[in-house]
Chain A
């Protein structure tokens, strides 16, 4: 679990985001919504250890820790793929030796998302949305403690969400906490936060 104490992130043009109230527990699906320039991306980058202009303390499982010093994968506008390589290559890129069970789950998830038919295709022939699905499946199969997805509604619509139900279930079972940021609020997600006036408010 991640807890933030007296945590303030500083951005450009004296932007400050107070993120005291955020708690990320294992296996939960958390939604953080906010308008443009509300600090959504900055918050996720900070949690992933990719942004360091902040004050305050972060506790991981009750122990003070440096952001990013835990198992975390961030999916954002950076395409963590090699466009000239195949889907298969990109899927296996960060994976070490996978167990038979993991391989089976991976194949199931690929089938649900429709990516199983284009395993040998080069990444640059896929749509942005398909690439993000690949990144998502690849991240879930690694079972990180935290999976952070920025601008979730840019890449995933209701149809793709339906196809990814199994993937999210698998993440929840593995104890992966998924944090998504959106512009519009997705209904039906119980753990929801809103970024407003430089503060994070639990809904």
Chain B
């Protein structure tokens, strides 16, 4: 086997692996973005809004808040709970009965749903609380969420950019591999044409020339394809970095490369005459 042919096979193998790398990179980056987004969601969920409301209105406000799509949960601390907490925290067991007589407010702790809660939802939350009667105080500022929202926005932007363009890069690169295969096949066979001309004119079997040309076309892409698919299969089977190959694309790409490699034979210069 000629060195030139082996080098061509190696180049095709590297390009195929690079092409698969684009797919893998997209898969990996989206997974990474998702993981980071989860962290941001948790950050948002970790900062609750606190609302001090009258005991009488607390149930209505509780229900209204719980129905908001961006609210994950509302924790209500009612009068008996507050008394219980105060008496245990400040050792006021003896004053327990005295505290029961007091007109204490209820406390609502609102945990937002990190996935849906953003600047728009913040305005909706403020609008919703404005209408409610019986609210003494809201302990809530948008500033606490700004950093998380900015992080989220950036992650979404990067994610959508990858989603928008990765397929283009992937298929265009596959197209470039096709063109390279055409170039490799035609340049190799054109270089070999003098050899085959001499071979045939020396009395060699012309059938051997045809068989060799077909075999060269098949092996130039077949060997790198087998290695590339084999590598992907290995990564998939052994779950290296959670790799999940796109075998449908592999089949289409393999068929296209083999077809193009064989069809190139039709365009190879013919030098049968003196």
A: residues with CB less than 8 A from B are 45, 50-51, 73-74, 76-78, 80-82, 90, 93-94, 96, 135, 138-139, 142, 144
Chain A residue with the shortest CB-CB distance to B198: A80
The 30 sampled A-B contact pairs (Cβ below 8 Å) are A45-B273, A45-B274, A50-B272, A50-B274, A51-B273, A73-B201, A73-B202, A73-B203, A74-B201, A77-B274, A78-B201, A78-B274, A80-B198, A80-B201, A80-B202, A81-B198, A81-B202, A82-B195, A82-B198, A93-B204, A94-B199, A94-B202, A94-B204, A94-B205, A96-B205, A135-B202, A138-B202, A138-B203, A139-B202, A142-B203
Which residues of chain B from 238 to 274 have any CB-CB distance to chain A below 8 Å in the complex?
272-274
CA distance A144 to B202 in the complex (A): 11
In the assembled complex, the CB of A187 is this many whole angstroms from the nearest CB of chain B, namely 30
In the assembled complex, the CB of A109 is this many whole angstroms from the nearest CB of chain B, namely 15
Chain B residue with the shortest CB-CB distance to A144: B203
Given known contacts A50-B274, A80-B198, A135-B202, what 9 new A-B pairs fall within 8 Å (CB)?
A45-B273, A73-B203, A76-B274, A77-B274, A80-B202, A82-B195, A82-B198, A93-B204, A142-B203
In the assembled complex, the CB of B203 is this many whole angstroms from the nearest CB of chain A, namely 4
CA distance A93 to B204 in the complex (A): 7
Chain B residue with the shortest CB-CB distance to A50: B273
Give the number of chain B interface residues (Cβ < 8 Å).
11
Interface SS of chain B: helix, strand, loop or mixed?
A: loop
What per-residue 1/0 map shows which CB atoms of B183-201 lie under 8 Å from chain A?
0000000000001001101
In the assembled complex, the CB of A70 is this many whole angstroms from the nearest CB of chain B, namely 12
Residues from chain B with Cβ under 8 Å of A73 in the complex: 201-203
In the assembled complex, the CB of B195 is this many whole angstroms from the nearest CB of chain A, namely 7
In the assembled complex, the CB of A74 is this many whole angstroms from the nearest CB of chain B, namely 7
In the assembled complex, the CB of A26 is this many whole angstroms from the nearest CB of chain B, namely 17
In the assembled complex, the CB of B269 is this many whole angstroms from the nearest CB of chain A, namely 16
Residues from chain B with Cβ under 8 Å of A45 in the complex: 273-274
Please provide the 9 A-B residue pairs with the shortest distance between their CB atoms, ordered closest to farther.
A94-B204, A80-B201, A94-B202, A94-B203, A80-B202, A73-B203, A142-B203, A78-B274, A80-B198
